[in-house]
Structure 1
Amino acid sequence: MSNSKNLRKSAKNAIRRGDFSTAVEKCEAALKSQQDNYNALVLLGVALREDKKAESIFKRAIELEGDNVVAYQKLVKYYESKDTSDCSKSLMKLYYRMSKLSGENEADALDKMYTIALKLDDYNVCGSIINDLICQERDSKRRDRLVLLLAKILTYTSGTHNIDVLTLFEKVVETKFTWRQILAVPRMVQYLSPNHVQTFYRFFEQIINWQN
């Protein structure tokens, strides 16, 4: 067994005992010989517990193995242990990413994201996060569901709505949705408050004219 592997095993045993300072020492020693060792980084992040350094350690592990769900899971637990708006915003992205990586129920991830949005109660912040995910998402069905989530967030959160409904639907076009997807937008009307409906239909009329 290599020295690095021995050190990681010792770190894992120390974590089980609750001896986190020893675990940190063992992980740091392992990383001296293999600075990009994914497992040592994840163990170090766990050993650091709520220390701010744990966040950057987990992110470094994710950079090394972006398709490995373990570091994501540990980072989610770290953020969930904090009660800050920055951690909540990061969780919105992580819940969605993990639903794609691990095959977990996407609906559960979207529900968690919606719950965070209601807690933050700021459409500009949450809407920007969801819109970025829409732009990055290649799967048309997933993208449709994100658009629906964005409409719900607009309707049920407050704050300064610098992005109104018309702008939201214009952004749907800007993300290069197919016409089938754009013309499916009326499904979103079920989430709109009465004062938004007129704006919605004005936009829908515009895209019909544009298509013709």
Structure 2
Amino acid sequence: MASGGSSKEIKQLLKNAREAIRSKEYKEALKHCKAVLKQDKTNYNALVFVGVAAAELDQPDQAVAAYRKAIETDQQQLLAWQGLAGFYEKSGNPDHRPELAGVYSQLRELFQSKDPKKWREVSEKLARLQDELGDTEQAVQVLKSLIQSEESEDAPASVRHWIQIADALAKVPALVEEYIMLLERAYKIILESGEDRQQHFGNYIKFLSKCNDVSDDRVRTECLRMHELFPSDTYPLTILAGIYLKCKPECLDEVAESVYTKLHSLDETSSSAFLGIGQTSLARRNYLLARDKLQEGLNGSRNNVHGWLYLAMAQLGLHDNRAAVESSKEGLKVLTVSKQLAASQLKRALLTVQADALLDAGTRSQAQKALQIYQKAK
């Protein structure tokens, strides 16, 4: 332990180091710090000042080592943790980002009982960084703790955190039940707040569309709600068109036709609109118009199985049997690589159209092929 005289000397050296840093005389600051560390190898303030000066002199390894040694000396003091966080923030080195997340976590613990405002600030930084690093679960937990610290869940800051939760979870390909419920709650609060409502309404519909246990009826209802609020937005109409395209042409209602027409008026290049208009034309047995519109739609949406099925049906109606066979084959190809909920029904429908086209051709060999395909379609 240093004597009283050396303690006084250390205080003066630390004061000199602090003043040198303020004057941006970083080499001078290092000299004073080294003099302190000769007498007291674990002097906390001297180690922190070495970290500051070394960072400014572009000596990153020395800076990190000094901050880390100071932290080992006293983990409960803030200065070294804050200095290390500032160093990692400024470095721009992606390798430092996981380390920075760890530092933020420590600062959160230290600020929790001492400074609620700084606790919230570092929590927000940590949540953003964890989300960027792909650590969604941890980011969500931090954001939930921030929301719990707010006075009410619909306060502006709380809504902002709900938006962050929604944005983070929306990027996850497959969510567990707990997070599905959390995401639904997030969207409910966000939409009620009116914050960027159009964008988040679209994201909410996208989320519902991904959920296997959410019915088309519910998605349809939300799309119609969004369309009422934002009539010039093509997104809800495009999702609606995708739902109606799965219906049998003879089962379409006026709402479906209205959706296709509105979508086409807003976006004359929309593949979904062309496919939908082709589907309604097929229902009216206007096979020529149906064929033309379906072909236009498939030009921009080659992987739409229903589009190929309806095109084959239109071509069959025109007795263009060779084209109908080819279109049904294309549909079957797409079906083998896509995940369709009603794959077996679609396969059966495509095979049936293919067999009908071969039978309609009238030759004996094609009739035999048709019989074989009918057997497959059973």
TM-score range, shorter chain: 0.5 to 0.7
Contact 1:189 1:197 in 2 (8 A): no
Query: What is the correspondence of 1:25-174 to structure 2 with a 5 Å cutoff?
Result: 25-49=31-55, 50-52=58-60, 53-102=62-111, 103-105=115-117, 106-118=119-131, 120=132, 122-123=133-134, 126-127=135-136, 130=138, 142=145, 154-157=168-171, 164-166=174-176
Give the CA deviation at 1:14. Answer: 1.5
Contact 1:69 1:101 in 2 (8 A): yes
Contact 2:67 2:80 in 1 (8 A): yes
Give the CA deviation at 1:150. Answer: 10
Per-residue displacement from partner, 1:75-116 (whole Å, max 9, x unpaired)?
111111111223232232323322331234344333222333
Q: Paired residue for 2:29? A: 23
Structure 1's 143 and 197: CA in aligned 2 closer, same or farther, altered over 3 A?
farther
Q: Paired residue for 2:208? A: 194
Counterpart CA distance in 2 for 1:62 and 1:75 is 10
Give the CA deviation at 1:17. Answer: 1.8
Counterpart CA distance in 2 for 1:70 and 1:11 is 15
Counterpart CA distance in 1 for 2:35 and 2:168 is 49
Higher relative contact order (CA 8 A, sep 6+): 1
Contact 1:7 1:26 in 2 (8 A): yes
Give the CA deviation at 1:60. Answer: 1.4
Percent identical: 22
**Secondary structure of the equivalent of 1:165?**
coil
Counterpart CA distance in 1 for 2:70 and 2:40 is 13
Contact 1:79 1:87 in 2 (8 A): yes
Give the CA deviation at 1:152. Answer: 5.1
Matched letter for residue 100 of structure 2: L
Q: How many residues align?
A: 168
Q: Paired residue for 1:203? A: none
Stretch of structure 1 that moved more, 149-158 or 92-101: 149-158
Contact 2:101 2:126 in 1 (8 A): yes
TM-score of the pair, normalised by structure 1:
0.61
Matched letter for residue 95 of structure 1: Y
Per-residue displacement from partner, 1:164-190 (whole Å, max 9, x unpaired)?
533x96xx9xxxxxxxxxxxx943543
Let me know the Cα RMSD of the aligned residues.
Answer: 3.7
Counterpart CA distance in 2 for 1:59 and 1:33 is 19
TM-score of the pair, normalised by structure 2:
0.37
Counterpart CA distance in 1 for 2:168 and 2:102 is 18
Counterpart CA distance in 2 for 1:195 and 1:61 is 52
Structure 1's 191 and 60: CA in aligned 2 closer, same or farther, altered over 3 A?
farther
Per-residue displacement from partner, 1:35-88 (whole Å, max 9, x unpaired)?
111111111111112421211211111121111111111111111111122323
Matched letter for residue 194 of structure 1: L
Contact 2:169 2:183 in 1 (8 A): no
Contact 2:123 2:146 in 1 (8 A): no
